[in-house]
Structure 1
Amino acid sequence: MADMHVEFVTVERRFWSGSASMVVAKTTEGEIGIQPGHEPLLGELDTGGTVTVYTDEGKKVAAVEGGFISVTATKVSILGESAAWSDSIDRAAAEKSLAEAGDDASAAAVARGRLRAIEKAGA
């Protein structure tokens, strides 16, 4: 199976780096799937979106708070404001954040993204 290199960084740190057979990301234009040899593109990640990375070990799902995705034929660069793997997200805390978001659309989107990441991971 052909792989591509993925660099996933946030404002604070290198979040993840490695080989993947596919990356699925929620952008402001919709969800896109990237495989090796994909046409180059630059997209804006949706606030409260998710990124799923498919590796030889299985899939890894992260909640992402905005940023960008850049794709070449052999590399995917994900530049997120912040990110959290689904297995590190506290569901109760995310649900509480969503309930308390009120009129804050950005906070609600982030909380929904964290809950979506948990659901996509099957946790």
Structure 2
Amino acid sequence: MKTVKVNIVTPDGPVAETDANMVIAVTESGEIGILPGHIAMVAPLKIGALRLKKGDATEHVAVHGGFLEIRPDVITVLAQSAEMASSIDLARAQAAAKRAEDQLRAKKDTQEYQMAELGLKRAINRINVYGSRAR
């Protein structure tokens, strides 16, 4: 089965370099499935799970925004932050979600509300990706 090279990079450095048979990402215009040989394109990413299918196995990565650059032989994910499911600290993600929920209830100014909302989305994404690693 054909594979495509996948590089996941954040401002803090590389998160993963691997091969996959298929990559599924959540973009601003919806979910996209990418197979080896896909046409070249660039797409902005939403907060969501990046799925790397390798044979019968699927690796999950929590991605928090950024861009996806697709070339026929290489997929590059330039993310604001990204974590492999295996490296997510569930207790920390749950604590972050609780803090964000508390901040949302406080209903401060618009910018603080938006930051708390974004923090909650990131925490929920991490919790969901952590939970998907057992599947």
Q: Same fold (TM over 0.5)?
A: yes
Indicate the structure whose relative CO is greater, using CA pairs within 8 Å and at least 6 residues apart: 1
- Structure 1: how far apart are the matches of 2:55 and 2:73? 17
The structure with more helix, counted as a fraction of residues = 2
In the alignment, residue 35 of structure 1 is paired with which amino acid?
A: L
Unaligned 5+ residue runs, structure 1? none
Aligned to 2:5: 5
1:66 aligns with 2:65: yes
Please give the per-residue CA displacement for 1:19-47, whole angstroms capped at 9, x wherever unaligned: 21111111222221111122222111113
Greater C-alpha radius of gyration: 2
Aligned to 2:37: 37
In the alignment, residue 93 of structure 2 is paired with which amino acid?
A: A
CA RMSD of aligned residues (A): 1.7
The structure with more strand, counted as a fraction of residues = 1
Percent sequence identity is 29
1:115 aligns with 2:127: yes
Q: Which runs of 4+ in 1 moved over 4 A?
A: none
Instruction: With the length of structure 1 as denominator, give the TM-score of the two structures.
Output: 0.88
- Structure 2: how far apart are the matches of 1:119 and 1:27? 21
- The alignment of Structure 1 onto Structure 2 pairs a total of residues equal to 122
Unaligned 5+ residue runs, structure 2? 105-115
Aligned to 1:24: 24
Instruction: With the length of structure 2 as denominator, give the TM-score of the two structures.
Output: 0.81
